[in-house]
Amino acid sequence: MTQQTQKTTDEEIQQLVIERLNIFPPGMKISIGSSGVFSKDELIEHVKKNDQIGKKIIEVQLSYLRSLKTGILFDE
Amino acid sequence: MNNPSIIVTRPRYELTTNYLYYWAGLIIAEAKKRNFEIFDLKDAKATAGDFAGRVKKKKPDLIFLNGHGSYTAVAGQDGDILVSSGKNPEILSGAIVYALSCKSAQVLGAKAISSGAKAYLGYKEDFIFVYDEQKITRPLQDKTAAQFLGPSNQLMFSLIKGNSAKDAYKKSQRDFKRNIQKLSTSSAPQQDKRYIPLLYWDMENQVCLGNQEAKI
């Protein structure tokens, strides 16, 4: 039961990140250091594959979502 | 009293380094205005040999590294390793260093400080930025890339103006935060809000190691 819940949660996170990437503006490229330069469609593919780049993008998105709980970005 | 000196490495061999190359040019222009002695190791001059030779001879006050990096190293032209934690961290001794490069603050930065660098500013993880494909021949006119590279440059402008490492770091953090806040307003285009997590990533992973009060 616990494993099933965890699996569902991971899939939900993956889907959330894909949805966030989907509304990324067209014509923009994302430079991720020596990993390379990616279009939003390429990043979505990496997230779907859950490879190293995909995991990095998920980490970036989760890091930001966690920051919203702390209020660090909007305090004065 | 001698003029302060700065060494800038700015390789250029693909799109990412091309952007960093042009944005570092703004720092060089500011340093010129302020009568710095400038050593601009650009393109094919951004090699390990040229870098080591210049640093050893000139003992610069500031070192501004642009290029690809890893936890342990920062590279120059075509990936040539300029400085690494295992080989030559002492080359940064006596200088304030800013590495606009991925990950290097984590291992190389710490090693540089224990080897005598006054301060090491950089990023613990990948430095991520977004650019507009329509602007690749005019990187300085790319307003999207400016969201990321502007706060980065603020750090160097502050150091050149004589601010301490800590204050330069704070000003850069402030600019990242301002850009995030501007993009968070209801008047910002909805699509542009997608940059916010990437900006926050850079802000969160930027660090200032060593003597916080170090200045030129």
Express each pLDDT in B50-102 by its tens digit.
999 999 999 999 999 999 999 999 999 999 999 999 999 999 999 999 999 99
Residue with the bigger pLDDT between A68 and A74: it is A68
**Residue B8, helix vs strand vs coil:** strand
Q: Which helix (H) or strand (E) holds B16?
A: helix B15-33
In angstroms, the Cα distances linking B14 to A35, A70, B26, B152 are: 13, 38, 19, 20
Angstroms from B205 CA to nearest CA on chain A: 11
Output the pLDDT for position B135: 96
Which of B69, B131, B201 faces A31 most closely, judged by CB atoms? Answer: B131
Within 10 Å of residue A15's Cβ, how many Cβ atoms?
12
Residue A2 has what pLDDT?
54
CA B62 to chain centre: 11
Mutate to test the interface with A, among B185, B204, B205, B206 (most CBs of A within 10 A): B204
The full set of domains in chain B, from first to last, is 5-207 (3.40.50.1460)
Residue A6, pLDDT score = 58
Nearest CA in chain B to A20: B194
**Confidence label for B1 from pLDDT (cuts 50, 70 and 90):** low
Q: What is the DSSP letter of A35?
A: G
Q: Is B123 within 8 Å of B105 (Cβ atoms)?
A: yes
Q: Is B126 within 8 Å of A28 when comparing Cβ atoms?
A: no
Among chain B residues, CA nearest to A28 = B132
* Residue the block writes with tokens 């977004």: B130
Q: In the prediction, which pLDDT does A9 show?
A: 81
Triad B43, A34, B112: Cα angle to 5°: 75
Residue B189 pLDDT: 86
Statement: residue B162 has pLDDT above 90: yes
| pLDDT recorded at residue A3 | 56
Q: C-alpha angle B141/B105/A24, rounded to 5°? A: 40
pLDDT bucket at A74, cuts 50 / 70 / 90: confident
Q: What is the mean pLDDT of chain B?
A: 97
- Is the CB of residue B120 less than 8 Å from the CB of residue B113? yes
**DSSP-based three-state secondary structure for B68:** coil
A11 in Cβ contact with A5 (< 8 Å):
no
Backbone angles phi, psi at B81, to 5 degrees: -75, 120
Contact A31 B196 (CB under 8 A): no
Above 80 in pLDDT, residue A18? yes
Q: What phi, psi does B37 have (nearest 5°)?
A: -85, 120
Confidence of residue A26 (pLDDT cuts 50, 70, 90): confident
Which ipTM did the prediction report? 0.93
pLDDT tier for residue A30 given thresholds of 50, 70 and 90 = very high
Q: Which of B215, B89, B98 is nearest to B152 (CA)?
A: B98
Enter the pTM of the model.
0.95
Tokens representing A16? 């959330």
- pLDDT interval class at B180 (50, 70, 90): very high
Chain A residues with a Cβ under 8 Å from any Cβ in chain B: 20-21, 23-25, 27-35, 37, 56, 60-61, 63-65, 67, 73-74
